[in-house]
């Protein structure tokens, strides 16, 4: 627990297909999430630099959020006319936007959630999030409202709650951009809206650590991560107005921010540090690292190895891979004879990936058939470009 000029932002799916590097980056993000979960389950979240490094692979979630905001915000910014040009395009359809999100997100998510609850049907209703009430909460993205409501086989889905929260508020942000400029791209108000939206993240982090009436789990609520989405929105604006960046400098900056995040400045190997200063450092460093990593590709740089068909293919099924991999990891731990916090991280990573990839491909095929969406590119297609 995913931006363009008008010609490339007619729809989120179109943007991804026209920039295969973005799709490949999703595969990298998914692999990071797999690594951090394998590290946790095999006891590698230790109280040293190595443990913090393993824990920091969760930055894959940040990459997902930056990409998602980049693609979806670009749909709004791409419809805005240039500042001195007449308004010629209609405001994006909110109904169409939500329908596309529903078709892409819900079928696969609901299938995996239901399968997880069927597998664990005999579990006690608490504290694992099992039972009918737990299933209903997971199906409605309300499982993070209280501690103990998250199903053990769906622990990564907290980030889906955050993602869906962003989907719900994005039209409000988009309409604000449209309204303040009266259908035209006016840099100052658009940037002010993005910055204001991003500031909600650190403000909520402070509140969730200091307001006693808020539960600890409120640190995982969508508002806490709006700054990561704002980074993607800023890249969407940059692409719309023609920003250019230096790829080596950006990627060196991404690595530097990531390395700094492995120090005690960003806290121990845990999802949200208890210390508010560490929590703030962590969210800022993750956001910067992910934004610097995505920026060159988002702003039109071509990277040949990110255009390899195998990596693009994996990126096309990265969402489904993300959904199934924790259930597969649970199964793998049992059948490999591992106890919790024991075993080989490397072996668990390989087995989970080998089993999850075909399951993810099958799930993608099933949901494409259900929704009439075009399927992913073929693994054997020639290298794009």
- Residue-level pLDDT at 158: 97
Q: What is the pLDDT of residue 240?
A: 92
Q: Which two tokens stand for residue 353?
A: 């990936």
Query: Partners of 81 in the beta sheet?
Result: 184
Domain range holding 329? 6-371
Q: How far apart are CA 267 and CA 146, in angstroms?
A: 24
Give the dihedral sign, CA 308/309/310/316: positive
Describe the crossing of helices 59-77 and 226-241 by its angle, rounded to 10 degrees.
50
**Contact 21/303 with Cβ under 8 angstroms?**
yes
Cβ proximity of 69 and 162 under 8 Å: no
Q: Which long-range contacts (C-beta less than 8 Å, at least 24 apart) are formed by 330-339?
A: 330/152, 330/153, 331/355, 333/41, 338/41, 338/42
* Cis peptide bond N-terminal to 127, omega within 30: yes
Residue 17: predicted pLDDT? 44
State mean pLDDT over 132-143: 94
Q: What average pLDDT is seen over the chain?
A: 90
Cβ 38 vs Cβ 352: under 8 Å: yes
Q: Is pLDDT of 131 > 80?
A: yes
Residue 317, number of CB atoms within 10 A of its CB: 26
Mean pLDDT value across residues 329-344? 96
Cα angle: 2, vertex 291, 307; to 5 degrees: 65
How do residues 56-110 score in pLDDT, each as one tens digit? Answer: 999 999 999 999 999 999 988 988 877 665 555 678 889 999 999 999 999 999 9
Q: 337: exposed, middle or buried (C-beta count within 10 Å: 0-12, 13-18, 19+)? A: exposed
Alpha carbon 375 to its chain's center: 21
Return the minimum-mean-pLDDT range out of 3-17, 139-153, 338-352: 3-17
214 part of a folded domain: yes
- If one compares 69 and 3, the residue with the highest pLDDT of the two is 69
- pLDDT greater than 70 at residue 183: yes
Residue 15: pLDDT band by 50, 70, 90 thresholds? very low
Which pLDDT score, from 0 to 100, does residue 87 have? 58
Residue 310 lies in a domain: yes
Alpha-carbon distance of 68 to 343, in angstroms, equals 34
Please write the tens of the pLDDT for every residue from 226-236.
999 999 999 99
Instruction: Please tell me the distance from the alpha carbon of residue 178 to that of residue 182, in angstroms, as a whole number.
Output: 6
Mean per-residue pLDDT, 44-52: 95
DSSP 190-259: HHHHHHHHHHHHHHHHHHHHH-TTS-GGGGGSGGGGHHHHHHHHHHHHHHHHT----HHHHHHHHHHHHH
In a domain, 240, yes or no: yes
CA distance 328 to 158: 18
Residue with the two structure tokens 């590097």: 21
> In this structure, is residue 380 part of a structural domain?
no
Average pLDDT over every residue of 99-124: 91
Is 90 exceeded by the pLDDT of residue 262? yes
Inter-residue contact 239 to 299 (CB < 8 Å): yes
Question: Which pTM was predicted?
Answer: 0.91
Radius of gyration (C-alpha) of the chain in whole angstroms? 20
Q: How big is the CA angle at 125 (ends 343 and 122), to the nearest 5 degrees?
A: 65
Is residue 1 in some structural domain?
A: no
| pLDDT, tens digit (0-9, with 9 covering 90-100), for 338-383 | 999 999 999 999 999 999 999 999 999 999 999 988 776 666 555 4
Residue 18: which pLDDT band, with cuts at 50, 70 and 90?
low
pLDDT > 70 fraction of the chain, expressed in percent and rounded: 89
pLDDT given at position 379: 60
Whether 335 and 355 have beta carbons less than 8 Å apart is answered as no
Residue 261 included in any domain: yes
**Has residue 322 got a pLDDT over 50?**
yes
Residue 267 placed within a domain? yes
> What integer pLDDT is reported at residue 130 of this predicted model?
75
Q: Write down the pLDDT at residue 327.
A: 97
Asked if residue 9 has pLDDT above 50, the reply is: no
Residue 323 lies in a domain: yes
Q: Give how many domains the chain has, as a whole number.
A: 1
Of 92-106, 123-137, 215-229, 239-253, least confident by mean pLDDT is 123-137
Closest to 128 measured CA to CA, from 156, 144, 147, 151? 151
């Amino acid at each position: 627990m995913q931006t363009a000029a008008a010609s490339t932002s007619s729809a989120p799916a179109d943007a991804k297909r026209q920039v295969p590097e973005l799709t490949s980056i999703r595969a990298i993000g998914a692999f990071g999430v797999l690594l951090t979960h394998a590290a946790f389950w095999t006891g590698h979240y230790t109280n040293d630099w190595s443990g913090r490094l393993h824990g920091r692979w969760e930055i894959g979630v940040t990459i997902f959020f930056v990409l998602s905001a980049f693609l979806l915000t670009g749909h709004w910014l791409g419809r805005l006319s240039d500042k001195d040009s007449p308004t010629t395009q209609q405001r994006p359809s909110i109904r169409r936007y939500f329908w596309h999100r529903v078709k892409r997100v819900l079928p696969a998510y609901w299938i995996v959630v239901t399968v997880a609850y069927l597998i664990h049907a005999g579990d006690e209703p608490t504290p694992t999030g099992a039972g009918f009430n737990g299933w209903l909460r997971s199906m409605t993205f309300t499982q993070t409202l209280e501690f103990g409501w998250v199903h053990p086989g769906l622990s990564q889905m907290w980030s889906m709650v955050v993602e869906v929260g962003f989907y719900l508020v994005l039209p409000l942000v988009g309409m604000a951009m449209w309204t303040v400029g009266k259908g035209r791209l006016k840099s100052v108000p658009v940037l002010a809206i993005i910055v204001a939206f991003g500031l909600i993240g650190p403000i909520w982090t402070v509140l969730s650590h200091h307001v006693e009436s808020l539960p600890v789990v409120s640190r995982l609520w969508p508002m806490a991560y709006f700054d990561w989405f704002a980074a993607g929105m800023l890249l969407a604006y940059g692409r719309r107005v023609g920003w250019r960046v230096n790829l080596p400098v950006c990627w060196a900056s991404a690595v530097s921010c990531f390395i700094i995040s492995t120090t005690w400045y960003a806290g121990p190997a845990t999802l949200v540090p208890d210390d508010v200063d560490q929590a703030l450092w962590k969210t800022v460093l993750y956001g910067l690292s992910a934004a610097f990593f995505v920026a060159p590709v988002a702003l039109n740089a071509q990277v040949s190895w990110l255009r390899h068909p195998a990596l693009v293919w994996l990126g096309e099924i990265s969402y489904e891979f993300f959904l199934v991999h924790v259930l597969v990891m649970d199964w793998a731990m049992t059948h490999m004879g591992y106890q919790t916090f024991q075993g080989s991280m490397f072996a668990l990573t390989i087995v989970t990936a080998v089993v999850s990839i075909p399951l993810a491909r099958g799930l993608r095929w099933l949901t494409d058939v259900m929704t009439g969406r075009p399927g992913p590119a073929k693994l054997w297609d020639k290298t794009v470009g």
